[in-house]
């Protein structure tokens, strides 16, 4: 009796480990810093995590489909530079349309190479990372871009504004995550993405158009990157041409922390949100406790590996790998 109960607790731990870790972190930080558990601070953390979070929502879809997207970092640079630069030239409305269009084209190139031409997604998006970074630099000629009229433009709403008293980035992040969660969990499209990521051959035999599906997952990650660029560009009102450098790996860290398997076929958008928030809370909490800024990176190192380790240990039923 006691034995089965222990087992259930173990299973619960394994299945919801990320939630439990999240709770432990929150409680820990709350105990050690009295400034941590204030509504203002929590809002700040979510707001700061919003850019990585929005991107992570799209990348989660790609990873569930069995692929990787390393190009989102330089895509973020590209889109932010584009929207900020065009803002003064053709007005914010058109700038946003053009930027989203251009970002989707980049996503389509990824999608074509991985989905239709069936090339390895890691290498393709690695190549695209470099190519898009180059494109951005060619576009700007190496200079940084700025929005001149920062006070009156309505473009400020994405990064600095509020919707019903809540900061817009938070609304966009959580709204988008909720929307994608519904799409992935309750629509035929979502089910097909899981199917293709889990077992491509079986998916094809059951009549799923794999090429088209993989293609559309890359469109989704490009779109979310474009939305992240809106937030970033509007918040900073300017952009360095390498602003997104390294984001691809932080995004991936959030996705992995959320329990999405890099092999594809499993994962959950809402858990990705928690994964991203954990990274955000680690950063914030350690700072409030007086540790140096970069201590969060050390903790991230440990947390990522522990999270994945416990996950697969639960699946195989033993802690250590059976490799000789």
Partner 1 sequence: MADTSKNAFVTWLTRNPIWGFIVLIFAFFSFSNEYFFDLQNFQNILVQTSTIGLIALGMTLVMINGNIDLSVGAVVALAASLAVDLQSWGVFAAWGNWAILPAVAAALASGIVLGALNGFIVWKTGVDAFIVTLGAMIGVRGLVFIYTREESFFAMNFAYSDFGASSVGPLPTLAVLFLLFTVATHLLLSRTVHGRNTYAVGGNRDAAVNAGIRVGPHMMINFMIVGFFAALAGVTLSSQMGAATPNLGRDYELWVITATVLGGTKLTGGAGNIIGTFGGVLAIGILRNGMNLMQVPAFYVLVILGMILIAVLFLDKQLNRRGKQELKT
Residues binding partner 1 (CB under 8 A): 113, 117-120, 122-124, 126-135, 137-138, 142, 200-201, 204, 208-211, 245-246, 249-250, 252-253, 256, 262, 292-298, 300-302, 304-305, 308-309, 312-313, 316, 320-324
Please, which residue, 225 or 300, has the CB nearer to partner 1? 300
Q: Check: CB of residue 26 under 8 Å from CB of residue 281.
A: yes
Give residue for tokens 């522990």: 306
Please, which residue, 35 or 316, has the CB nearer to partner 1? 316
Which are the contacts of 236, defined by CB distance < 8 A and separation ≥ 6?
A: 80, 84, 159, 243
Min dist. Cβ of residue 146 to partner 1 (A):
20
Min dist. Cβ of residue 151 to partner 1 (A):
33
Please, which residue, 172 or 304, has the CB nearer to partner 1? 304
Min dist. Cβ of residue 301 to partner 1 (A):
3
Min dist. Cβ of residue 117 to partner 1 (A):
7
Min dist. Cβ of residue 91 to partner 1 (A):
27
Give residue for tokens 């932080």: 250
DSSP H or E stretch at residue 24: helix 17-32
DSSP for residue 155: G
Q: Please state, as a whole number, how many other Cβ atoms lie within 10 Å of the Cβ of residue 119.
A: 14
Q: What is the largest CA-CA distance in the chain?
A: 72
Of the candidates 100, 105, 109, the residue with the CA atom closest to the CA atom of residue 223? 100
Please, which residue, 31 or 117, has the CB nearer to partner 1? 117
Q: How many residues does the chain have?
A: 324
Please, which residue, 35 or 118, has the CB nearer to partner 1? 118
């Amino acid at each position: 009796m006691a034995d089965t109960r222990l087992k259930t607790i173990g299973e619960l731990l394994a299945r919801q480990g990320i939630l439990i870790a999240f709770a432990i972190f929150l409680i820990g930080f709350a105990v050690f810093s009295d400034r941590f558990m204030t509504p203002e601070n929590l809002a700040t953390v979510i707001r700061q995590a919003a850019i990585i979070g929005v991107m992570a929502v799209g990348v989660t879809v790609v990873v569930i489909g069995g692929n990787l997207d390393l190009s989102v970092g330089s895509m973020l640079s590209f889109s932010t530079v584009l929207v900020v630069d065009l803002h003064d030239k053709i007005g914010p409305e058109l700038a946003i349309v053009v930027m989203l269009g251009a970002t989707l084209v980049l996503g389509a190139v990824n999608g074509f190479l991985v989905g239709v031409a069936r090339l390895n997604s890691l290498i393709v998006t690695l190549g695209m990372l470099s190519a898009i970074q180059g494109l951005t630099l060619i576009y700007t000629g190496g200079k940084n871009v700025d929005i001149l009229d920062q006070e009156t433009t309505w473009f400020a709403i994405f990064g600095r504004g509020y919707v019903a008293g809540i900061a817009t980035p938070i609304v966009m992040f959580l709204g988008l995550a909720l929307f994608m969660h519904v799409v992935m969990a309750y629509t035929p499209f979502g089910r097909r993405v899981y199917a293709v990521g889990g077992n491509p051959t079986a998916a094809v035999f059951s009549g799923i158009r794999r090429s088209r599906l993989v293609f559309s997952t890359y469109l989704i990650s490009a779109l979310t990157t474009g939305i992240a660029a809106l937030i970033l560009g509007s918040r900073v009102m300017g952009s360095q041409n390498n602003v997104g450098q390294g984001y691809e790996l932080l995004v991936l860290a959030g996705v992995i922390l959320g329990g999405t398997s890099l092999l594809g076929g499993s994962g959950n958008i809402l858990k990705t949100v928690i994964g991203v928030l954990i990274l955000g809370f680690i950063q914030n909490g350690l700072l409030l406790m007086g540790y140096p800024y970069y201590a969060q990176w050390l903790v991230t190192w440990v947390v990522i590996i522990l999270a994945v380790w416990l996950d697969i240990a639960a699946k195989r039923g033993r802690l250590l790998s059976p490799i000789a």
